Structure 1
Amino acid sequence: MPEQLSLTLPVRPALGRDDFFVSPANVMALGLIDMWPNWPGSKLLLVGPKGSGKTHLTHVWATQSNAVILNARDLSEDRIPDLAKGPVAVENVPDIAGDVAAQKALFHLHNLTLAEGNTLLLTGAGEPNHWQLELPDLLSRMQGTTVAALEQPDDILLSVIMAKQFADRQLTPHPDTIPYLVKNMDRSFEGARRLVEALDRLSLAEQRPITRALAKRVLDATV
């Protein structure tokens, strides 16, 4: 029997406010986001592990504030005057470690945005002291910014995150699959993402539904 071709459907993350599940791991960060536009110094750092919801919260805030969102690697000097005319979010600031030109651009964006009376949201994994930024002036600005921290997930949040990731991929796992995964998996946002991705691939390749038995095979393969 010839092998069936699998159709990979596009992943469309749901990034609206109603799609963000509030738990003890993120309630303080959400509260600080909701303080806008009254952030101390008109700026905020949103930090947390990969997959913890930084991008989701950034989009929630951008919808509320009509902010422009860009990746730190995509920032250039010529864009700064236009960006500084309104609220702006710069994601993945640690990615420009080692790139002094990008760090200078972010430093100038920081200063001009605040000088124009607008607000600035920056995101990254971990505390800014660990971002390995070589530009002292930029590092001092980061260290002087209020931090909204997203923590590692509890069982309820981990279950909701996985359910959302399955839904983003237009997948419906058997009801006992997610509880089984939560009980036996590497307990992290990134671990959840990898498992959902692996189950999606295996389900497509074998044309099987996503069940506890399929989940066990994926978990066993990761040990």
Structure 2
Amino acid sequence: MAGHDLPRQLAFMLPHAESLTRDNFLGGPANAVALALIDAWPEWPSRTMMLVGPEGSGKSHLAAIWADVSGARSTAAHALGAADVPDALTTGALVVEDLRPGEVDERALFHLLNLAREQAAHVLMTARLAPSSMDVELRDLRSRLRALPMVSLSPPDDQLLRALIVKFSADRQLAIDEAVVSYLVSRIERSSAAARRAIELLDSEALRQGRPVTRALAAELLSTLTGR
């Protein structure tokens, strides 16, 4: 009607499940050593290993792959309490996700590592920081963590970042052409998390505006995508 603004189209963001299988994992130089570790199980250099890398680098995906083949249970590090430790190791394998200093019951974690050693259980921990950079108050735990073999995941190179953008688009059934992929690779932060956020925003805006995902739309959203 004249004199009235047309209502903006609402974009209903439905959850998009991501497959965390071995076949769905995108490998590259940034994660090759970590993927080789998972594939080598149970021939690990230690029964307890740690994966370290930035947000969205693939730690959780690798942990899910290992849990599938090993029968491991999984727990968030911040949710682990002393009473949970015995049951956590009942399958003989456990994933402890996202270990962060100051957000974990240090005595419970130390108890877990001791019990895992006694029971010859396998434990895979993930963290964003290397143990040497963690501020751990419990001296025995600090020493134990720093002695653990660690595998690092690096930021993706151009080829892997490109593949991640295509994968995240396919997960959302979002049509995206080579021009958009190249544009994003050259401008977003070099991380899986940034690629995921970029595709989520492009999908949302394309739906809201009733437009296809084009390089022009990506350029319009660049300040939001990069935070600049």
TM-score by length of 2: 0.90
Question: 2:173: which partner in 1?
Answer: 170
Question: Where does 1:67-146 land on structure 2 (aligned, <5 Å)?
Answer: 67-85=72-90, 86-94=92-100, 97-99=101-103, 102-146=105-149
Question: 1:63: which partner in 2?
Answer: 68
Structure 1 unaligned spans of 5+: none
Question: In the superposition, relative to structure 1, how do residues 99 and 187 fare at CA in structure 2: closer, same or farther (>3 Å)?
Answer: closer
Question: 2:212: which partner in 1?
Answer: 209
Secondary structure at the residue paired with 2:19?
A: coil
Could you say which structure has the larger radius of gyration? 2
Secondary structure at the residue paired with 1:92?
A: strand
RMSD: 1.6
Secondary structure at the residue paired with 1:171?
A: coil
Identify the structure with the greater helix proportion.
1
- Cα-to-partner distance string for 1:188-221 (whole Å, 9 max, x where unaligned): 3332233223212212321222111111111144
- Cα-to-partner distance string for 1:148-205 (whole Å, 9 max, x where unaligned): 1111110111011122222333322233211221022222333223322321221232
Question: 2:160: which partner in 1?
Answer: 157
List 4+ stretches of structure 1 deviating above 6 A. none
Amino acid at match of 1:178: V
Distance 1:115 1:172 in 2: 52
Distance 1:179 1:74 in 2: 40
Q: How much does 1:129 deviate?
A: 1.3
Give the conservation status (yes or no) of the 8 Å contact 1:33–1:61.
yes
Question: 1:195: which partner in 2?
Answer: 198
Distance 1:72 1:144 in 2: 19
TM-score by length of 1: 0.92
Identity %: 42
